[in-house]
A and B are shown apart, each in its own frame.
Chain A
Amino acid sequence: MRYSRCVQTPLYEAHVALGARLAPFAGWDMPIQYTGILAEHEQTRRATSVFDICHMGEFELRGPTALADLERLLTMPVASLAPGQCRYGYLLREDGGVLDDLTCYRLGPDHFWLVVNAGTRTQDAAWIWQHLAPTTQFTDLSDDLGKLDIQGPTARATTERALGVQLPDLGYFRFTELTLEGVPCLLSRTGYTGEFGYELYCPVKTVGRFWEQLLAGGEIRPAGLGARDTLRLEMGYALYGHELDLHRTPAGASRGRYLQLTKDFIGKVAVEAELKQPRQVLVGLRLESKRAARNGDGITVAGRTAGVVTSGSVAPSLGVAVALAYVDAAHAATGTRLDVQARGSALPATVVALPFYAGGTARGTA
């Protein structure tokens, strides 16, 4: 085996049997593609795909002080979350550097989950743990939970048929605890593709069963991290390690979203200062052909350095290359024309509004 030091998800054998191409991602041996990134991207935009997301981390916080601890640790409002609601935001250091971007789930008045990135799980846990009151209980559930993302405009009907169940109506960023075939699960109307769909959390021992059942009827097909990346890029969603990291505050990526400045949170002073006087802003760039800008490519305006590309590829749903880039605030306005310095060629690009792909069904009803 080539990547013996990588962790395998419980579905590793299933991926191999499906002929997946596997590659290391955040220390995990993950499926990048099964049939091809373009076909899997299309399948997700038009029908339903299932993604193995078992690598991501889940933390549980409970107790009378859990809410107050989370309000201080996280940038977004937590107290206003109703049980059954979740919200996206950031975990920051004092200097505003982004430790992680995550989703906070409120299961009850004193009961929360945080869903975090695989590569940051260990540092997140250490940071959170050291900022908790003694009466807050912290448990890392990551090794006990499997996670499948079921995404696509037809996800509700196809999931109901595949599992032989009726799913409840769930609003966007709402979730419910439910029993599927006698197994306690959590089903969330969230995702990372821009399409309608779910994130399903289940005990790790049952994830193989759900994976097989979802695929058995042939309506739902597996998709890998390659398509997950092109899908999220078309929506302008940040990927930790690309758009977000310890070296920047989230001011440029958030443009004021996911931040509650009326409360005190760790890193607030730094973020607030940068929001008032932004240095660089994260923007969407539309290129003029399918030739892609890539992570790390420089950006120039009239020959002078003006930023850097953080993610880029062809946007399969648009038929043209797009990129996310940090550009100097002076060049961040929609319609600004600039050049990407890609492998020795200057590729003309235009700052455009996000998302790149406007046809997503994520917020719709099904």
Chain B
Amino acid sequence: MNVPTELRYTKTHEWVRLDKNGVATIGITDFAQEQLGDLTYVELPSVGDNVEAQNEVAVIESVKAAADIYAPVAGTITEVNKKLEDQPELINADPFGEGWIFKLRPDDPSEIDMLLDADGYEDMIPEAEE
């Protein structure tokens, strides 16, 4: 299972990368996309929305299931990955890259340090199946 060490993680399987410009990029982890299977639909948040930590901000659906995507920290949505509207499968193919979901300017960037690191997230996800 791919869990990049430079990212931060949530218990709800989002990853967060804080860029130098103070904006955080958020997506779902490799583990989450694999559990969901082929993604078929993504509902993106609106740019400019102010969100609280743990707010539901996006919905993703696979053939078998629907899942909410939560804001990892409070902030303002600055950008969404419009490509996902036509190509939700980008999340399956490249969850940490082209499959990013939205960007957010955190109200307090230090909150991101309080999220799980790669080791913490890896400890949380179930053992890979045999």
Which A residues contact B (CB, under 8 angstroms)? 1-2, 16, 21, 32-33, 36-39, 226, 230, 289-292, 294, 313-314, 316, 321, 343
Residues from chain A with Cβ under 8 Å of B38 in the complex: 36-39
The residue from B41, B63, B129, B130 contacting A230, defined by CB atoms under 8 A apart: B63
The smallest C-beta distance from A222 to any residue of chain B, in angstroms, reads 16
B41–A313 CB distance below 8 A: no
The residue from A1, A2, A16, A314 contacting B61, defined by CB atoms under 8 A apart: A314
Residue in chain B with minimal CB distance to A33: B37
Residues from chain A with Cβ under 8 Å of B66 in the complex: 292, 294, 343
Instruction: List 18 other contacts, CB 8 Å, given A1-B130, A16-B130.
Output: A21-B37, A36-B92, A37-B37, A37-B63, A37-B64, A38-B40, A39-B38, A226-B64, A230-B63, A291-B41, A291-B59, A291-B61, A313-B40, A313-B64, A314-B40, A314-B41, A314-B61, A343-B66
Judged by DSSP, the binding face of A is mixed
**Separation of A292 and B61 alpha carbons in the complex (Å):** 8
Q: Number of B residues whose C-beta is below 8 Å from A?
A: 14
Bits for B69-97, please: 1 = Cβ < 8 Å to A, else 0: 00000000000000000001000100000
A226–B61 CB distance below 8 A: no
Residue in chain B with minimal CB distance to A19: B129
The residue from B37, B41, B88 contacting A36, defined by CB atoms under 8 A apart: B37
Residue in chain B with minimal CB distance to A38: B38
**Separation of A291 and B63 alpha carbons in the complex (Å):** 10
The smallest C-beta distance from B120 to any residue of chain A, in angstroms, reads 23
A to B contact number (C-beta, < 8 Å):
47
**Separation of A289 and B61 alpha carbons in the complex (Å):** 12
**Separation of A314 and B66 alpha carbons in the complex (Å):** 11
Asked if B43 is an interface residue, CB under 8 A from chain A, the answer is yes
**Separation of A38 and B36 alpha carbons in the complex (Å):** 13
Residues from chain B with Cβ under 8 Å of A226 in the complex: 37, 63-64
The smallest C-beta distance from B105 to any residue of chain A, in angstroms, reads 27
Residue in chain B with minimal CB distance to A291: B41
The smallest C-beta distance from A42 to any residue of chain B, in angstroms, reads 11
Residues from chain B with Cβ under 8 Å of A39 in the complex: 38
B63–A289 CB distance below 8 A: no
Residues from chain A with Cβ under 8 Å of B37 in the complex: 21, 33, 36-37, 226
**Separation of A33 and B36 alpha carbons in the complex (Å):** 12
The smallest C-beta distance from A316 to any residue of chain B, in angstroms, reads 8
Residues from chain B with Cβ under 8 Å of A37 in the complex: 37-38, 63-64
**Separation of A360 and B109 alpha carbons in the complex (Å):** 54
Residues from chain B with Cβ under 8 Å of A313 in the complex: 40, 63-64
**Separation of A38 and B129 alpha carbons in the complex (Å):** 22
Residues from chain A with Cβ under 8 Å of B43 in the complex: 291
Residues from chain A with Cβ under 8 Å of B40 in the complex: 38, 290, 292, 313-314
Residue in chain A with minimal CB distance to B92: A36
